[in-house]
Amino acid sequence: MPIDATRPYDDQNIFAKILRGEIPSEQVYTDEWAYAFRDIAPQAALHILIIPRGEYVSWDDFSARASDEEIAGFIRAVGKVARDHDLVEPGYRLLANVGAHGGQEVPHLHVHLCGGEPLGPMIARRSQG
């Protein structure tokens, strides 16, 4: 069920629980600013979620409230995860869903990193007619 991205941060969301180690995740990267783990229902050969450690509902919330240090740390972590997986030369895709129209389901900012195979069109084409 897509979320309302304007609502306050809910510290009981599933990614908050993953950050606190209350539920398991398959870690691929961690640092002061970010945590990355494998998506439980991969949509590509490689599908990693990268989340900031701070409490931000969405990309909108993060870009409005996070400090420059948090933003720099998070963005650098996303790039590092891609490089660590040798994705730069073949290429990869980053995606952040925001709110209802974006189809965001978990109310803690996450960037999807997909790769490991050609990914096709960015968005499913609308049917004609």
CA distance 6 to 86: 36
What is the rounded CA–CA span in Å between residue 54 and residue 62?
9
105 near ligand AMP (CB under 6 A): yes
- The yes-or-no answer on residue 110 being catalytic is yes
Contacts of 114 (CB under 8 A, 6+ apart): 43, 44, 46, 47, 48, 92, 93, 95
If the CB atoms of residues 49 and 66 are measured against ligand AMP, the closer one turns out to be 49
Question: Which of 14, 28, 46, 75 lies at the binding interface for ligand AMP (CB under 6 A)?
Answer: 14
Of 120 and 129, nearer to ligand AMP (C-beta) is 120
Give the binding site for ligand AMP (CB under 6 A).
Answer: 14, 25, 39-41, 49, 97, 103-106
